Amino acid sequence: MKSLTGGLAAKSGLIAGGAASSSDVLLDVREIGISFGGLKAVQKFSLRLPRAGLYGLIGPNGAGKTTVFNLLTGVYQPDSGEIQLGSQRLGQGKPHEITAAGIARTFQNIRLFPSLSVLDNVRLAGQLHNRHGLLSTVIRTRGYRCEEELLRQRSLELLQIFELQDRADELASNLSYGHQRKLEIIRALATNPKVLLLDEPAAGLNPQEKLALAESIRQIRDRFQVAVLLIEHDMPLVMKICERITVLEYGITISEGTPAEVQNDPRVIAAYLGAGLEDA
């Protein structure tokens, strides 16, 4: 355990050093686009997310934010452009392959497995890299049992970190809304991702819960050393925690920069408030 934490400290030191230089890009998205029939849902979307970066993606409803997530996670295949994670090209991968490569996501409308227990929801995500096949499952070999026990322990530890361990045996559908949102994030983390995509994690939360969430997202980034890309409508939250923000409107990137830059960009203000009185 000691050597492990030591190793991690060294690793995070390395990462902190690397984040300063702009060359250390973990997720490199180059001009991806997709159209559905004649509708160009997303055009030439680019993003350079560094290791342990915390970036935001905002825009009015229907701007194509979730479509970007769907492109990044393989739900849709991009018509053009390239996606690279570390040294790995992801372009045409299937969703489960992309998750295995290290991109995990949550969903805007909660998509837990309602009739599985809280623990099983986490275990399902954590078993991604399990090696044992059908035959050893059926005859319950020793190796298989070790793997399952390890998975159970790791999942419980993860639940403990987020203080949900008391609800481990409950059905996911019986959790409160706030806890369900939390469990979605835990489940995504259980896949051991390098990049975490959060789709409106603050939707439906009350002000206190939003404050706690903002704190959690930062801490998740620090403790798990994941890069976070956040879609959120709650502007104070986004402005507070994100290092850089990309603004989408009608599938086109209209602005990109630090929160302060984005907030003062006339095109962003126009997108959110309408294009001024003279047009009306």
Report the first-to-last Cα separation within the chain, whole angstroms.
Answer: 65
Element (H, E) at 66: helix 65-72
Nearer to other proteins, 5 or 61 (CB): 5
Element (H, E) at 41: strand 39-50
Nearer to other proteins, 85 or 112 (CB): 112
CA atoms within 13 A on the CB side of 191: 25
Number of CB atoms found within 10 A of residue 263's CB:
14
Nearer to other proteins, 191 or 255 (CB): 191
Query: Amino acid letter at 68?
Result: V
Nearer to other proteins, 197 or 271 (CB): 197
CB of 217 to other proteins, least distance (A): 9
Adjacent-strand bridge partners of 278: none
CB of 15 to other proteins, least distance (A): 12
CB of 115 to other proteins, least distance (A): 5
CB of 149 to other proteins, least distance (A): 4
Q: Which residues bind other proteins (CB under 8 A)?
A: 1, 4-5, 8, 73-75, 94-96, 99-100, 104-105, 107, 111-116, 120, 123-125, 127-128, 130, 132, 134, 137-142, 144-151, 153-154, 157-158, 160-163, 182, 187-192, 212, 215-216, 219-220, 223-225
Find out whether 163 and 183 touch, Cβ atoms under 8 Å: no
Find out whether 111 and 188 touch, Cβ atoms under 8 Å: no
Nearer to other proteins, 149 or 261 (CB): 149
Element (H, E) at 27: strand 25-36
Nearer to other proteins, 5 or 22 (CB): 5
Which parts of 54-125 are beta strand (E)?
54-58, 80-85, 88-89, 103-105
CB of 72 to other proteins, least distance (A): 11
CB of 229 to other proteins, least distance (A): 15
